[in-house]
Chain A
């Protein structure tokens, strides 16, 4: 069974709120979190990670982990610099963080090791997105540049020494101001990347060609993007509190339509998320209101208030979780989780021989609780045996028969021979006897 949860965080210390999207009930409130925009991510189905603003001025950043069932922070780690954008691949095996200096870090979740760090942008990284198959990473920066990285190639030290190629696959520099959000569609190798910027445009890029396809001008700066996976349109949350609709294959330089706006028009839309299950669009605003829209009817379906309307919402993510069957099992999986806390993220890359100790920790499949089956064999076994017996009846026995026949013949011959010998001998003895008698 699956459960769809919406999580949201703020730049004020309001923790992380979570709601069941179907029922609208508020779930656990995770404590102690004040994250930058794009600083919150669910790491697979394992836990939540968020980078923290608190130490932003200090020398190191901080990233906290929460488990789904406990409101307290479980693991704290302190990377070398403040992390301005954080994301994880879909399996939850790697966490990628973008730093204020423009560096990008890749950590292995299971060991906490910093696998790779590279200088990606000249200034702070604002957003990071994995491609659909987790093999490419798209990063956006404060200076308006967007880059596409192939992770496999980043790890290929040997090739990098031989070829004087740049590290990135594509670079897109057409934005004139900071990139606020990036989404990538389901096109696989031919995917479209949409980036939103402070310069009041959204630009659509082609991954396969590595170039700008079109640029769409909006009436205000765009803070957030969400993609309608099946509809070839995207939603753009504007600084003026409106949600606009743009078409990926737009014919126009200008945004076409307008979905709706939050109640207080002066409050900017700060984040958007799309939930394909039920086709819902979720928006968060500076006023702390999280609104769930039906994009077809353009009506808000429900809304959540976050942080008592004080803090602006700046991150929303839709997370699908597999629910473990019954309470008992949930308990056991909880125990299992706790016993294996993920180690904190390490500060530095390991050097020398230590870098590759060659162990990868593979998580068991989530469905490992399904009963195992073994198959019955008796019936087949009987058929096999019967066949074998029959074959012996034909081939093997025949051979044996022939052999015996042959032997029998030989024995008879031998017998005759002996008999002859005996008779000869008897004759000789008799003659001797007779002769001797006569002598």
Chain B
């Protein structure tokens, strides 16, 4: 009968149980039927997720419900039944299928079903974890499924207590597994499970906190742990203080233990490379002699002094893991106040960065060449972790870094000078960025020169190379994808191959980092460099962006189709260059942006690029630049502008404008270079719009008409003033000529000239003003006469004279 049933469409609710049953019979094994194909399992999971086969949503109308509810329920019932049967199967592969599908069911099933049966499922899974006979794949799957079950459970607010008790049941067995088993896959899923518990149900660790800490620490200190797992253990260890009531004390204790462990390791590692007192001091600061020092990380029997002391690589990977752990502690959110030991953290970073592998003269006899070689091989990793720790510290305490900011700046700038490895420089740039973002203008004042000089070194290196081989880039692009790193075997075209190496820069990330740092600097403190670094940065970014974009844009599409990582890298680089360039155009400055025309053209071309990210950004850039090319000061809505407040006095605006001119002209009359600067500076820009504003408000006419009429108005007004104009000194007139010429392209000519003649008038007034106070009074009275009668407050005039008297 079923086969004759027809469905409305693919969303028909009646479809769901059918598909589910089909899946169940075809792909999911049962007791007798063996597991056919693992591949099909992925298919089952994705089908369930797309069609929401397990959701059992109550259908909208009641009659539909009657019709559908029963069969649908039973299909899911069958599904669950089958899974439970599989879970208790003896065959490990079937059991595995059952366990992983229970995990999926926990996520997908309806809340009613989950709520009624989660404890059954939980016990099933737990019995596998506790059973020493379980095969490894089943254990791994069980841990994952329990984690998903607890995740779902955490969304029910009414069962908090029960959930915690469930979660706490799983902790100890899992820890026992962690101690006994040595499979990385199992460790990984155990750590995931533990992290889930510590995030969702921190109370579950109540009784086992110390035990967990000890086991995890011993794993970190074990020589057998791979670097990937080290990171995961360290991450979990960083979350662990949340479990101990989540208070500030446990966080500080953990941090103290970590720092002590790190310093102890470093004391050993740096033997012969630094003064021994440095290490002693560091430990003393962390555990002052008078006070009780905490137990070493991982409890009393922490495996700190084992045979592996001699392996430099091991020490460094441990220290890196511990530093990563501290960084995570600093950056993950806690619910209580944290006492961050900033001084210890910073001195640790300083200590690590100070060691560069060179031997102090007094120490040289104590160290062999091989030893030094081994240490030097591992130092970059160590420095990288230390820089990461520094960044985490800055991120954590943000503005409260203030008392330490200066010393951090010193560390960063001195390390910038020493450091040449790209990977470390990238980290330095990102620290620079973090500093600028968290501390603002004050930090920009301190860090600007360092950032600029370093970024220009890193960016100019690229320029030199690429400008040499512009013609080869096309060839390089075509070959880049298939030939990378094969140049040695290709003897046929050696010259071209060297070009391939150069022309397709395989690693842009250093330049991207430098560009991002410059962009941040311009965003935060662009105006500060007006007299110093700004011009250099603008020029640098202009050349960089030209090199990044020109010649290659045509190839971007071809390039993109090659399944090559460096192509996306190139796009990223282009974007970073464009971003930084836009920042240099928009960032406040005293002078007009020097490369505005080039920039507009560049973005205009970029807008038409096939690469969507670049095109999108270029469109955005053009919008931002629109404000630069058409500066505007829009009339404030509601706030009456000058003329509407005092009707009939639309001359007021120009009068006010003139008064500004008075100040300016006064100072700079005759000096045309200063004058042009004046014009370029933003001071005068609002002046134009001020006129615009007065026109706008007095005459709400359509755009096209407005300007013309406005001109007429202003013009007619200035006719009156022109009578006085005769007295304008010769020099001022000349300079006025300059001004109006320069301004031709900005505002309709007539308006500008008129206005400036007005300025001339006021300039003359100002001369009088300087000449005699009495006359000044007169001139002011004169200029105010036009506007003042309409002023509502009479005390304006009277008080003006008060000032003068």
Residues on A close to B: CB < 8 A?
Answer: 89, 91, 93-94, 108, 110, 115, 131-136, 150-153, 155-159, 169, 187-190, 200, 207-209, 213-214, 217-220, 231-233, 240, 242, 245, 249-254, 256-258, 295-298, 340, 356-365, 368, 372, 374-379, 381-383, 385-386, 389-390
Contacts and interface: CB of A to CB of B under 8 A. Distances in A.
B169 interface: no
B660 A251 contact: yes
A390 B38 contact: yes
26 contacts: A93-B400, A115-B402, A133-B524, A134-B440, A135-B441, A136-B441, A151-B402, A158-B410, A159-B406, A189-B444, A208-B527, A208-B530, A213-B683, A219-B796, A220-B799, A249-B633, A251-B660, A257-B645, A296-B636, A340-B337, A358-B344, A362-B340, A377-B144, A377-B147, A378-B144, A389-B38
A340 B663 CA distance: 56
A415 B637 CA distance: 102
Most buried by B among A157, A189, A361, A365: A189
Nearest to B784: A254
Given A93-B400, A152-B446, A361-B339, A375 B151 contact: yes
Nearest to A232: B633
Contact of B443 (A94, A152, A217, A219): A152
B184 to A, nearest CB: 12
A361 B340 CA distance: 6
B397 A251 contact: no
Given A220-B799, A249-B683, A252-B656, A158 B441 contact: no
A364 B145 CA distance: 32
A231 B151 CA distance: 50
Given A295-B639, A381-B100, 10 more contacts: A91-B399, A134-B440, A152-B402, A219-B803, A249-B686, A254-B800, A359-B339, A376-B151, A378-B100, A386-B41
A240 B642 contact: no
B199 A374 contact: yes
B528 interface: yes
Nearest to B403: A155
A317 B152 CA distance: 46
A interface: dominant SS:
loop
B582 interface: no
Given A189-B524, A359-B340, A361-B339, A135 B442 contact: yes
B733 to A, nearest CB: 21
Contacts of B525: 188-189
Contact of A382 (B104, B106, B638): B104
B637 to A, nearest CB: 7
B483 to A, nearest CB: 26
A231 to B, nearest CB: 5
A388 B349 CA distance: 40
Interface of B: 38-39, 41-42, 45-46, 49, 100, 103-104, 106-107, 137, 140-141, 144-145, 147-148, 151-152, 154, 189, 192, 195-196, 199-200, 285, 333-344, 396-407, 409-410, 439-446, 524-528, 530, 588, 590, 633, 636-640, 642, 645, 655-661, 663, 683, 686-687, 690, 792-793, 795-796, 798-800, 802-803
A155 B642 contact: no
B154 A359 contact: no
B405 A155 contact: yes
B148 A240 contact: no
Contacts of A298: 640
Q: Which 4 A-B pairs have the closest CB atoms?
A: A358-B343, A133-B440, A296-B638, A378-B103
A135 B438 CA distance: 9
Given A133-B441, A361-B339, A378-B145, A253 B659 contact: yes
Given A258-B792, A340-B337, A359-B339, A374 B107 contact: no
A362 B396 contact: yes
A252 B106 CA distance: 72
Given A187-B588, A190-B527, A378-B148, A219 B445 contact: no
Nearest to B637: A296
A33 B398 CA distance: 33
Contacts of B793: 242, 258
Contacts of B633: 232, 249
Contacts of B655: 252
Given A152-B402, A379-B107, A217 B803 contact: yes
Contacts of A377: 103, 144, 147-148, 192
B145 A360 contact: no
A379 B49 contact: yes
